[in-house]
Structure 1
């Protein structure tokens, strides 16, 4: 998978690294969750090459993309996604977002009016556990700061990120270690967590317009130990969002990184929207 050729494009003042593959009249554009780059989709993209033109990219500050002048907000990230789609897509577009990426694609969809959305364990901003999320965000930042200090020692990062090594192909995991689990990559991850914290109130005050196309929400049934406390709340409010916008809702026998644990389910959801 990691032999996919990429190209760099100047979008909204930052050089963005983009990988494209597959054929078809439909363009499927992937938006990764916080802390993740294009490699998140390495187990999904090969399953779609016969039906769609796929686009995976690194957000500003991630992977092989350039560093933005200032930390990005969720709206900044959505604006870059809009610019990317407008620059590359020549047919109907399906947006696929994981976790924080769900916020980004929902905001971008207001401008793009895509043919469909697939939201994979998306961040449900209405969930009560986000009512006072600032302490959690600060705790997460402290953990990431500690990881950042340890990232100068590659063997330690392999231990800390070993779960990714079990879930992804070896070449994908090697790329993550070289690009995401680095001092610079973890700096961007810290900025992204802060962006989510700032976006919660904004999305509650000004929620994205309901999509005018088909939507599929895929919800993780399991959680890592540190996420388990809020699992039921997150799933309930993902379900409520699906009901609110008339989306299809389905469970995934997976923890949060569904694209790695259940790539066939993700690809099947995308195929259903392509065929629709």
Structure 2
């Protein structure tokens, strides 16, 4: 491998946009499912850099950039949850018939659930890592939405001033040099904050509808990994994760005891273990 996250490959969506992916092909002659990683709201493929290579030692592992993030082309049609799930299914179509394990972090959790519900026959399992979940009522209150709007506005200003990476400098520590260079070039740009703002415009409203009409996952095995560190918000998030696994006939809940929200960075080994359990 010439890069920590594998070799680049381009995926063309059904409407002609180019999405950038990095592929670990797995060991020669491997059999079993392929893992595809879906990052959080404003995150790129690089957020999986501590997880994907370890999974790739055993099976094929693919991380990609959603439209408008990383090296992928923006989406003039908007960034609804519906369109993001379509894009993920286009990625799966590109890499073959499956089966697939989908791993989604944070806002990537609802995206993989929606994509899986549309084509459940090719999904071998879901691993949701500290996911955003409609069972967390706090997401839909005025305080959370006001805080999100403020955060998006401040992030945009900091990106224009070139200061956003200072705020998130912790994400740049203790990572391979090639991944750090990718993040410094791609993760803290005005374009990234613009895409994040476009995603947020409809995301919570769409997610709120799932409280009464969620994606149907049938008997797809489901594991939710929750961060173990934090205060009251953490307790409410983890309660929503417990609720999610109780609705699955093959549900499993795991606590990453030394982590807050960024489990893919702080305890990647927990995620690797849970993915490999499904293979």
Could you say whether these structures have the same fold, taking a TM-score greater than 0.5 normalized by the shorter chain as the test? Answer: yes
1:136 to 139, 144, 147: 144
**Superposed counterparts of 1:239-254, under 5 Å:** 239-246=242-249, 247-253=251-257, 254=259
SS of equivalent residue, structure 2 residue 274: helix
1:9 maps to 11
Q: What is the rounded CA distance, in whole Å, between the counterparts of 1:211 and 1:258 in structure 2?
A: 27
Could you tell which deviates more after superposition, 228-237 or 58-67?
Answer: 228-237
Question: 1:118: how far off?
Answer: 0.5
Question: 1:170: how far off?
Answer: 4.1
Assess, with a 3 A threshold, how the Cα gap between structure 1 residues 130 and 91 changes in structure 2: closer, same or farther: closer
SS of equivalent residue, structure 2 residue 278: helix
Instruction: State how many pairs are aligned.
Output: 268
Question: 1:21: how far off?
Answer: 0.9
**Is 2:130 aligned against 1:121?**
yes
**Superposed counterparts of 1:83-94, under 5 Å:** 83-94=90-101
Is contact 1:27-1:53 (8 Å) kept? yes
Aligned CA-pair RMSD: 1.8
Flag the structure with higher helix content.
1
2:192 to 173, 185, 204: 185
Is contact 1:22-1:48 (8 Å) kept? no
Is contact 2:5-2:52 (8 Å) kept? no
Assess, with a 3 A threshold, how the Cα gap between structure 1 residues 38 and 161 changes in structure 2: closer, same or farther: same
**Superposed counterparts of 1:156-171, under 5 Å:** 156-166=163-173, 168-171=175-178
2:275 maps to 270
2:50 to 43, 46, 61: 43
Question: 1:44: how far off?
Answer: 0.5
SS of equivalent residue, structure 1 residue 268: helix
2:221 maps to 214
TM-score, normalized by length of structure 2?
Answer: 0.89
Is contact 1:109-1:211 (8 Å) kept? no
> What are the superposed Cα offsets for residues 186-228 of structure 1, whole Å, 9 maximum, x if unpaired?
11112222332122222123201034221111111113xxxx4
Is contact 2:104-2:129 (8 Å) kept? yes
Question: 1:117: how far off?
Answer: 0.7
> What are the superposed Cα offsets for residues 50-74 of structure 1, whole Å, 9 maximum, x if unpaired?
3211111011111100011132111
Q: What is the rounded CA distance, in whole Å, between the counterparts of 2:152 and 2:175 in structure 1?
A: 21
1:28 maps to 35
Which ranges of structure 2 fall in alignment gaps of 5 or more residues? none
Is contact 2:68-2:195 (8 Å) kept? yes
SS of equivalent residue, structure 2 residue 173: helix
**Is 2:238 aligned against 1:235?**
yes
Assess, with a 3 A threshold, how the Cα gap between structure 1 residues 264 and 34 changes in structure 2: closer, same or farther: same
SS of equivalent residue, structure 1 residue 40: helix
1:259 maps to 264
Is contact 2:109-2:131 (8 Å) kept? yes
Question: 1:273: how far off?
Answer: 0.1
Q: What is the rounded CA distance, in whole Å, between the counterparts of 1:232 and 1:130 in structure 2?
A: 13
Q: What is the rounded CA distance, in whole Å, between the counterparts of 1:211 and 1:52 in structure 2?
A: 25
